[in-house]
Amino acid sequence: QRVRIARALAQKAPILLLDEPTASLDLGHAAQFLSMVKRIASDQNLTVILAIHDLNLAGLFADRVVLLHQGEVHFDGTPHYVLDAQRLSAVYGTTLHRIEHPANGRPQIVIEDPTTEDAPA
């Protein structure tokens, strides 16, 4: 992934389009990679468009989130707006909760515990 970023930067691309760049990375490397991309984007005034399924990484690193469902935009805005438990629960068809990251207050999503008493056996 770093090589691809370097190639794009060498070509002086004003926009980086990244499709699931953290899919094969463990959590530590994914966070390092996205930190690097965010720093480079800021330093070089680049726009980064990132397709990612990890809502928590999006909550931590994105300035803007666009939530797609069945090929359509359902919500578009800040992570705090889009990563809302009710909005996400409706789209994903399961009960989700939002908590605030303890270090920075950014939104993080947790799924309802399916082992609770109310869950069907």
Q: What is the pLDDT of residues 44-94, one digit of tens each?
A: 899 999 999 999 999 999 999 999 999 999 999 999 999 999 999 999 999
Beta strands in 1-117 (DSSP E): 15-19, 47-51, 65-69, 72-77, 96-100, 107-111
Report pTM.
0.85
Q: What is the pLDDT of residues 83-94, one digit of tens each?
A: 999 999 999 999
- Residue 54 CA to residue 58 CA, distance in Å, equals 6
Is 43 in a helix, a strand, or coil?
Answer: helix
